[in-house]
Amino acid sequence: MSMWERGFVHYYYGTGKGKSTAAMGLAIRTLGHGGRIYIGQFIKTMRYGDVLFLEQHTKPEECTIELYGSMYGGTGCLIDHSASLKDVQAAEQGLARAVEQMCSGLYDLVIWDEVSMAVGLGLLRVEELIDAIKRRPEACELILTGRQYCEELLPHCQLVTNFAEVKHYYHDGVLSRTGIEH
């Protein structure tokens, strides 16, 4: 039995910091109320602190986390190189797996982290993503994240938030910091 009679689709996009962090906050809230979560990550090349925490502090039946992409052998962040056929195939297989998990009935909250960025990088077509969203069970809450704005997604989402960067220390040469950015 799902936590909710009706779930919604959230879309967190934009150049600002905090999209994935907001999604992880919802994951923690859902877990806190006894819900089950599934997280599929499309672009990230390592397990960030939030994922490590969830893996260390939840049971497998409460939280499933999967990474999608050919880059998970240490070849670096995909945004640092052009998408290859291998990258596209990995993202498409990842989306198929994410849909399978979403439709399994096992999860109350499903997060597709960086999925709009996968569209922006040419790994997925927006039509594929829309078809996947349409398969969402009614009681499942689905969260989409990524920097890329995809206007075509808006009619399929009930909550859309633009995370806008106003100022960021990255522009002053401060690189990603453990425990803060990852």
Q: Which is more confidently placed, 170 or 136?
A: 136
Average the pLDDT over 40-47 and give the result: 84
Partners of 160 in beta bridges: 11
Identify the CATH homologous superfamily for domain 9-172.
Answer: P-loop containing nucleotide triphosphate hydrolases (3.40.50.300)
pTM assigned to the model: 0.91
Average pLDDT, the chain: 90
Average the pLDDT over 104-116 and give the result: 97
* C-alpha–C-alpha distance, residues 15 and 147, integer Å: 5
Gyration radius of the chain over CA positions = 16
Q: Which residue shows structure tokens 């009679």? A: 5
Of 146, 176, 142, the C-alpha closest to 162 is: 146
Do 11 and 159 meet the contact criterion of CB atoms below 8 Å apart?
yes
pLDDT at 74 over 90: no
Question: Residue 4: pLDDT band by 50, 70, 90 thresholds?
Answer: confident
